[in-house]
A and B are shown apart, each in its own frame.
Chain A
Amino acid sequence: MTFLRVDQLSKKFGTRTPVKEISFELKQGCCTALLGPNGAGKTTTMRMIAGLIEPSSGQISVQGQPHSSGEYRSLIGYLPQHPAFYNWMTGQEFVMYAAGLSGMSRKEARARTLSVLERVGLGEAAKRRIAGYSGGMKQRLGLAQALVHRPSLLLLDEPVAALDPIGRREVMNLLQSLRTEATILFSTHVLPDAEEVCDRIMMMRDGEIVENGELQELVDKYRLPLLTVQVEWNKTTNEWLQSLKSRPFIQNVQIQGNTALLTVNNITEARRNILNEVSSRDIPLLNFQAGTTSLEDMFMKVVTA
């Protein structure tokens, strides 16, 4: 079932168009990563879906209702890229305030606030002023205020960018556990994060969606056999590595010192040929590995194409 539908969405700022006629759908209960380099239009897209800025053209509909009706807003939990709070409030006060604004009753808001603060790991700091929070704590507080009213769509703009490795791990686990409760759209430029929790990936470049699909589909689509050849470095071996570029079965060669990364069409043929050459030319081979390109390679390929 389609939860959110975005149709021909554009945003213009003067002469710049950071988002160009993008269309996509989010299915209920699905976790999607919005990937892209800085400046690809991820944040602008998020802000339009959250209703903070008006699209220049195009439609957004939530559960079949047009976005402009305004009703959808209680369904959305939004965490901006750099959340800012009232520093004179305590964490608990802020989350309760957010819950109240979303229409929760006082009693319900209090109970929910305590549980959600506990969940993001701010249980002990709940009664302290936000001014004394660290960057990571503010990020968690941002997450808490996004979750407090039980939204069915979570929009998280780079939720782990400001966190240390431990905090990142905790937030990723939290996202994992939230997958059953809400539809999640989160933007990131860190690929392993997306790989870890998402079932779908959308990639943006220059305001356009260049790739959109199930994680596994994309992996299969972009996976290419990869050979890693490491040799003892001398003049002859170096020349040999350089000469590999001209082989018909090799698509691309990347040489890093004494190691060559070879993207090939046909792994069987390539392996046989290279090993033959190694033995016939008596190349001092250190390491030979056959594998596939990683998602990282795919990302680089898609966003720089």
Chain B
Amino acid sequence: MRQAWLMYRKELLGMARSYQLLWIPVVFLLLVVMQPVTSYYLPDILAASGSVPEELVADFPIPGPAEVMASVLGQYSTFGVFVLVIAGMKIVSGERYGGTAALVLVRPISSASFILAKWAGQMTLLILSFTVSYAAAWYYTVQSCTFLVFLESGRAAEAGCCYNIGGSSRGNILSYYNDRIVVCRLYRYCYLELAEASHTGYKWRIRRIHAFYFAAINP
């Protein structure tokens, strides 16, 4: 068992020295962060293409946090597996044909523990990559709580009156005083911009963005 542990440590050291322990989590991270970002910009991309009717873009469904996290999981099952397979292929056959296995297997260890150590090494890499990248995906949805609290603290009623501001098709006025209003713009999904806007006599213009949130808006 001690030998298997030694081989496992050697696997990890090898992965660290070849920077696999760094770049595979980074690839995973980029992969899953791209998922919410693409779905976030998708209506913009469609609108920019010009061939999609505006109503369709405006009514683009807003995916909830659960949906986002689920589609992130979908990314793992395709690209994630692919990346791991590329990184992990030949770890056994490479040692056999490279000749390093000969120096290891003449020693009093079983082939099973040799394979087991390799497998455990790959599992460690997988778990690490998954944890890091899934945490990053979670980051994009976790702050939705802020908005829900905000809505529930009495301003939800005001949020009901809906105006179009400055050509933006979806702006909800939360409150206003003087010529200023506090505007909440709902984007396609889980994104909220809280801003001050003023009327220029001709149209409302956003003055200052107070904050924005990634929000979960489940109707």
Task: Name A residues whose Cβ lies closer than 8 Å to a Cβ of B.
Answer: 47, 50-52, 70-71, 73-74, 76, 78, 80, 82-86, 88-89, 93, 97-98, 100-103, 142, 145, 149
Find B17's partner among A51, A78, A88, A101 (CB 8 Å cutoff).
A88
Find B99's partner among A84, A97, A101 (CB 8 Å cutoff).
A84
Q: With contacts A88-B14, A97-B6 known, is A70 near B99, CB below 8 A? A: no
CB pair A102–B108 under 8 Å, yes or no, is yes
Q: With contacts A100-B3, A103-B3 known, is A84 near B106, CB below 8 A? A: no
Which chain A residue shows the least CB distance to B5?
Answer: A100
Measured CB to CB, the closest approach of chain A to B2, in angstroms, equals 8
Q: With contacts A97-B6, A101-B6 known, is A85 near B107, CB below 8 A? A: no
- Verify if B98 is at the interface (C-beta below 8 Å from A): yes
CA distance A107 to B13 in the complex (A): 20
Task: Name B residues whose Cβ lies closer than 8 Å to a Cβ of A.
Answer: 2-3, 6-7, 10, 13-14, 17-18, 98-100, 102-109
CA distance A83 to B2 in the complex (A): 25
Which residue, of A52, A76, A78, A86, has the highest number of chain B Cβ atoms within 10 A?
A: A86
Measured CB to CB, the closest approach of chain B to A237, in angstroms, equals 56
CB pair A85–B6 under 8 Å, yes or no, is no
CB pair B3–A101 under 8 Å, yes or no, is yes
Q: With contacts A100-B6, A102-B108 known, is A86 near B99, CB below 8 A? A: no
CB pair B6–A86 under 8 Å, yes or no, is no
Measured CB to CB, the closest approach of chain B to A35, in angstroms, equals 22
- Which residues of B lie under 8 Å from residue A88 when comparing CB positions? 13-14, 17-18
Find B10's partner among A52, A74, A97, A102 (CB 8 Å cutoff).
A97
Q: With contacts A83-B99, A84-B99 known, is A101 near B18, CB below 8 A? A: no
CA distance A51 to B109 in the complex (A): 12
CB pair B18–A145 under 8 Å, yes or no, is no
CB pair A85–B103 under 8 Å, yes or no, is yes
